[in-house]
Structure 1
Amino acid sequence: MKNKKLTPREKRQRRDNAAVTCESIGLDPVVYNAALSYLFDRPASDKSGQEWYWDIEEPAFEATPLQWTHIQTVLFTNAGTDLAPYSDDQVGIGLNHVMSNNAGDIPHMVNDPSVPLADAMRMVQALPSLWRECLGPRLDTGPSPIGSRSDRLYFVSYMWFDVWPTFWNAKDIPEWRDAMWQVFCEMLAMPWREAQVSALHGIGHEGSRLNRPKELKAHMDAFIRQLKNDDELKNYAQAAARGMVQ
């Protein structure tokens, strides 16, 4: 794994994110630690190859929508340290349960009317840290064609904004559109290629819903111009700018 130099902006973001703790947002640390164990302290798969959350006898984790929103805020912010004890497969499976509604309602929790908009926005603003501190470094294992890997951790990173229903449910709320735009901008500015790929995948699917076509075009043009010696990423960015990604 490479150690990449942080930009001044990334250093400021890291300092800001360091202030997000259970105590700072009013989340009981006992609840947070129980959620970590529930999501990640699991075998990679059972004998059939199924993920643990498909077990019909698996008890649900009891938390309110606001608690789940706070859990995700702290998790995204501190993913580099809090997920360090777990393997790539454990992290991939647990995060898949967080991002997808195929076997649960976690990604819908922040959309619940009981969750204040300010808390929802704080969760979304923490999302880039998941790539900055965890997914980006973990996936920085050498070049591979975009979309070619089949491991669980890569799937989560590559497909997050494709299968994550949360923004779709909130796409008509201006604050959500602004927050998602900032998420994509932060991820494109990261030194991690897989963070950039994930953002481009998201822009390809959600760019038209951000309601800022001129700003998006200018940002994408600038991103493409600065790419050197990576024709695949440049071509993918050009396709994303046209809304043509898989």
Structure 2
Amino acid sequence: MDGFEAWTAYLFARPLKDQAWEEQPDEWLDGHARQDTPVAAAERVRHLFGNAGELLRPYADDHVARGLTEIIEGGPLHALSSKQVPTVLRTTTLRSIVTLFAEVFAPRIQVEQLRRPSDLEHVCFMFFDIAPVELGDDTVLDVLEAVLALDSVPCRRAALHGLGHAHLTSPEHAGPIVERWLRTHRDAPQELREYAAAARVGQVM
């Protein structure tokens, strides 16, 4: 298999808890990871996120959650901060996050379990909190607004969570995004509108 296939197999196909498996040779770690570069990492993330519905379809929710967590928590998404990554590649990779939410989180999380969220729901909600992106960045703000526009309560909640944190560094942009959503979504669940009102002034956890 090529580098991308080896990478996705490592992230999403390996058993969740299997010490014996972890001690076996792995094609990604042994054959590709050592030659990785920030540009190659960003390209992989862009391709995965941009085709997330198709590429992640074979994997169960808990495997998808584990793989996505590894990507955004100290993984290849950090490559976007490298000066080696061209602006166009960085921007298109960030915009591919919208497709990830639309094709994976939205259809897979149909019912929220706020008190005991699944691993996938947790990754969705915390995405913009733990992803190594600058929330006040113009492209990231565009991504947040696009995710907020999706017809999915979990995706909207995740975007509002991110916009609430973005308010700390960019209140002049984050606040109006939430305000526009509140004006045009008066029929949204009251609990979500209350969360949006808190996000509008940066009061989110």
TM-score by length of 2: 0.86
Taking the aligned partners of 1:143 and 1:165, their CA distance within structure 2 comes to 25
Residues 53-77 of structure 1, C-alpha deviations (whole Å, 9 max, x = no match): 9x8x984733211111000001111
Tell me the CA shift for residue 212 of structure 1.
6.1
1:160 aligned to 117, 127, 137, which one?
127
Aligned 8 A contact 1:203 1:241 in 2: yes
Equivalences for residues 43-122 of structure 1 within 5 A: 43-46=15-18, 59=29, 61-62=33-34, 63-101=36-74, 105-122=75-92
Tell me the CA shift for residue 114 of structure 1.
1.1
Letter of the 2:117 partner, please give it.
S
Moved more, 221-230 or 36-45: 221-230
2:150 aligned to 172, 183, 190, which one?
190
Aligned 8 A contact 1:107 1:164 in 2: yes
Q: Could you say which residue in structure 1 is the equivalent of 2:5?
A: 33
Letter of the 2:124 partner, please give it.
S
Aligned 8 A contact 2:46 2:92 in 1: yes
Taking the aligned partners of 1:203 and 1:100, their CA distance within structure 2 comes to 19
Aligned 8 A contact 2:161 2:199 in 1: yes
Gaps of 5+ in 1: 1-28, 172-176
Residues 101-140 of structure 1, C-alpha deviations (whole Å, 9 max, x = no match): 2xxx423212112111111111001111000011111011
Q: Could you say which residue in structure 2 is the equivalent of 1:245?
A: 204
Tell me the percent identity.
28
Aligned 8 A contact 2:148 2:155 in 1: yes
How many residue pairs get matched? 197
Letter of the 2:145 partner, please give it.
C
Taking the aligned partners of 1:238 and 1:212, their CA distance within structure 2 comes to 13
Taking the aligned partners of 1:201 and 1:117, their CA distance within structure 2 comes to 26
Letter of the 2:72 partner, please give it.
M
Tell me the CA shift for residue 218 of structure 1.
3.1
Q: Could you say which residue in structure 1 is the equivalent of 2:195?
A: 236
Aligned 8 A contact 1:149 1:155 in 2: no
Aligned 8 A contact 2:164 2:174 in 1: no
Tell me the CA shift for residue 207 of structure 1.
2.9
TM-score by length of 1: 0.73
Q: Secondary structure at the match of 1:137?
A: helix
Q: Could you say which residue in structure 2 is the equivalent of 1:125?
A: 95
Q: Could you say which residue in structure 1 is the equivalent of 2:118?
A: 151
